[in-house]
Amino acid sequence: MNRRDIGQNIRNIQQQLPLLPVVRPPAPWRLTTSRAVGGLTEVGFGTGSDWLLIVSAQGRGVVDGLTGERLARDAETGSDWWSGGELLALGIGVLAGHQVRMAGLAGGGLPATTYDGWTVNIETFEWPVRSVILKRPTWYEQADAAQGCAVIAREPELRATGFSPTGQCLVVATSSELYLYTRSEGE
């Protein structure tokens, strides 16, 4: 495929994206967990892991990003474990003693690309609703947006989205819900 074709495909996709419906993620991704988390403000993955630290108005929690299993929970809402200026939170449970880089209301960001080329983007087509778009590694080779991209969420209260360091988990966090999408290693 030459540069001209890729450029035309990208222009076509940009026009089509706002019209795409919310759908399940493309294979090999699958929704593993949908969990209510009231007052969610930030999320972050432990270094090199799929363990997700969640910060909410009720404290901190850790879940296994691959299974959705709750690994730890505390109700401490004090600020001695949170450094908002540096976007770091002190972990609990399996992440105890580790500073975890966070993303959410205070800013920050999670990895937007996996080692094998999957990408997640946030687009705002109609304020205040934000669309979460999962793109295949070869999305730009498709003339039809639906063949290379999937809108997996539209949320007015999106806090953060991104991949775990392993690239096996994708989180979509809103003010009240946590969605975990996973794939098996090598998929």
- The pLDDT tens digits of the residues spanning 133-144 come to 999 998 766 766
Amino acid at site 34: S
User: Could you read off the pLDDT of 63-112 as tens digits, one per residue?
Assistant: 999 999 999 999 876 678 988 889 999 999 999 999 999 999 999 999 99
The C-alpha atoms of residue 114 and residue 124 are separated, in whole angstroms, by 22
Tokens 């993620």: give the residue.
25
